[in-house]
A and B are shown apart, each in its own frame.
Chain A
Amino acid sequence: MDISNYLYLSAALFTIGAVGVVVRRNAIVVFMCVELMLNAANLAFVTFSRLNGNLDGQVASFFTMVVAACEVVIGLAIIVTIFRSRRSASVDDASLLKR
């Protein structure tokens, strides 16, 4: 099997994630789509690691996971805060930037 298939899969997942971010309105779903994109990137990293024969890609992937964990914690906290004040988890309702 050609190892680049993993990369194609990664590209596909990444694109799906990106579309989800743009299309979905529920902030949590949007957030999950971001996670999907990060995971797709991780898959690419791991595959690159295998292609190059060293572990640098895996280390990058490891760091991505840590950062993603941080991001999830903060992001969800923000969502909870917004939900608490606006009783809504829709990203379209938080359109105060317009005004």
Chain B
Amino acid sequence: MLNLALQMGATKTPEAVLFWIMAPVAVIAALGMLFAKKAVHSALLLAWVMITLAFFYIAEGALFLGIVQVVVYTGAVMMLFLFILMLVGVDSSDSLVETIKGQRATAIVAAIGLGGLLLSLVGRATVGAQAIGVETANVKGNVQGLAEELFTKYVWAFEVVSALLITAALGAMVLAHSQNTKSRTAQRDQSIARFRKSSLAEAAGLPAPGVFARHNAVDVPALLPDGSAAAASISGTLKSRGDMLESAIFELEVKEVEED
């Protein structure tokens, strides 16, 4: 694949083919990311856009950046995103209904304005400009060329950025570190808390899920003595994920006892 991209970058027509296939897909993916209801979908679509961009980098003669794009962005950053998504809750799907009045309309106007402005600016700046190409700069190899730039001309910025990275790592540690201000509630404390509640109904603990003899999976609520489903018997995570079966299908039919 890498070789394919490199070859395509070297020639004119294949690059155009690559661009015209992948650019629309990237735009569609980006738009999809905008409209996806679930954050996970957005993350995956973004990862796709980033991989596309990696292709383009390589096609444009920025081999090093292309690799870094894949390794750092798609590999590390996006994984971090997904990791946090899992931590925060996959179920936190975003309602797309706008709550701030006029926000969406203004945003669309602003987007059209910004997009139009950028496009016209780019067009104005590049019309008739001939690309010089990085072939001469990459004569010793793209990585070597970049290294030369980084360690001579941009060495100061490079050092500053290293400090920035260290600071960011420290900052993340400080921010993410949570200090327990209260001692962790142990089983004993939970028991006491249960009995301290206003009603003693829950003192015995929550009912276990599953309808005996019919279905005993954790995603089926238990039945109360009167035959109705006990919602409290299902784990909250399953409930919010929607992975809960209707216990009605396992419910006993209430038969009327005929009296002699």
Contacts and interface: CB of A to CB of B under 8 A. Distances in A.
A19 B150 contact: no
A77 B65 contact: no
A62 B168 CA distance: 17
The secondary structure that dominates the A interface is: helix
A54 B164 CA distance: 26
Contacts of B167: 70
A69 B76 contact: yes
Interface in A15-35: 15-20, 22-26, 28-29, 31-33, 35
Interface string A68-84: 11111110111111011
B146 A62 contact: yes
B18 to A, nearest CB: 9
A1 B62 contact: no
Given A1-B16, A53-B136, A56-B149, A73 B111 contact: no
A67 interface: yes
Interface residues of B, number: 86
Interface string B225-254: 000000000000000000000000000000
A41 to B, nearest CB: 11
Nearest to B157: A63
B72 interface: yes
Contacts of A5: 19, 23
B53 interface: yes
B132 A52 contact: yes
B169 A73 contact: yes
A91 B80 CA distance: 19
A46 B69 CA distance: 12
Interface of A: 1-20, 22-26, 28-29, 31-33, 35-36, 39, 42-43, 46-47, 49-56, 58-59, 61-63, 65-74, 76-81, 83-84, 89-90, 92
21 contacts: A4-B127, A6-B60, A12-B30, A15-B115, A22-B103, A23-B104, A26-B92, A28-B84, A29-B33, A31-B81, A33-B33, A36-B46, A43-B53, A43-B56, A50-B60, A50-B62, A56-B149, A58-B142, A65-B69, A81-B176, A84-B178
